[in-house]
Amino acid sequence: MTNLPHLSRRSFFRTSAAVAAAPVFLQGIPQLVAAPAPRPILKTLKIGMVGVPGSLTDKLKAAKQAGFDGIELDAPGFNLEEAKKAIAETGLPVDGTVCSSHWNVRHTSPDAATRKKALEHLETALRDTHAIGGNTVLLVVGKGEDGPESEIWPRSIENISKAIPLAASLGVYIAIENVWNQFLYDHDGSNNQTADKFVKYVDELNSPWVGMQFDIGNHWKYGDPGAWIRQLGRRVVKLDIKGFSRAQNNFTPISKCDLPWDSVRSALTEIGFSGWCAAEVGGGNVEYLRGVANEIKEVLKLA
């Protein structure tokens, strides 16, 4: 698996047919979910956004009622049998997970024991994600506070690299998020920064199973997201979406920001992106979540 051509696997996931068939990748439980109608981008959201009481089945049912095509769980941390049951009962796939400990148990840590634990957690997330049919684990690689870039860059590369053979064998992407962690960009810098360091970092990991879960809103503060998408190109394997206003210097509802969505849409078309787009905003009930789903449709011009 690790010798697959770099573009062929990514190109496969960037066709509408592949996106339509995404739930078929529910390894071990392919009979549970029928594939949604073909479309270039599918809407998903974080499990923590679902502000309804009850079981995991109740939460997945609410997300589906709100108009989402999938959901991301936190891993490690969920019960496999409960998740399989919820998928079967609702018909809503879990398209991926978010590494639940990455903010506190970091691959950039100067402590070897912490890095070992971070690797164990990432490997558990990869296995659990595969077991319920997802194909991405969102990863924040660390924090700039763990040391100078000259130290935390190679330290985190070395640690994450140890998980790549497992990711390749399972067919699950390690999806690095561009997030406010003071690493790979200048937190106090200008708003015309480039994605140069993210490109170099991903490429240094040297695997088709490592890419970017590009957060469209996170770096509007630091650079043009359309330009970042074009520069990252084939490295973008998934999207996160939120609103950010430069004028207010704050996060906003997705459709109420000053983010240049025309540029984003054009860039996504140019790189041939098809796949999942995950909402990462405040949570709420079904009515609220339906509004979030509609905002995604509005700004990305989805059917």
Residue 19 buriedness (CB in 10 A; 0-12 / 13-18 / 19+): buried
- Domain, as residue range, for 223: 6-276+294-300
Q: Is residue 287 part of a domain?
A: no
Q: Average pLDDT in the 205-212 region?
A: 98
Tokens of 176: 């690095």
> Nearest 5°: CA angle at 83, between 99 and 166?
45
Instruction: Report pLDDT for 33.
Output: 53
The answer on pLDDT for 152 being more than 80 is: yes
Q: Is residue 160 part of a domain?
A: yes
For residue range 19-68, what is the model confidence (pLDDT) as tens digits? 433 433 344 443 445 544 445 899 999 999 999 999 999 999 999 999 99
The CATH number linked to 94 is: 3.20.20.150
Q: Is residue 182 part of a domain?
A: yes
CA atoms of 118 and 53, how far apart (whole Å): 31
Q: Is residue 76 part of a domain?
A: yes
Q: Is residue 128 part of a domain?
A: yes
Q: Average pLDDT in the 247-263 region?
A: 95
How many structural domains does the chain have? 1
Q: Is residue 258 part of a domain?
A: yes
Q: Is residue 223 part of a domain?
A: yes
Q: Is residue 288 part of a domain?
A: no
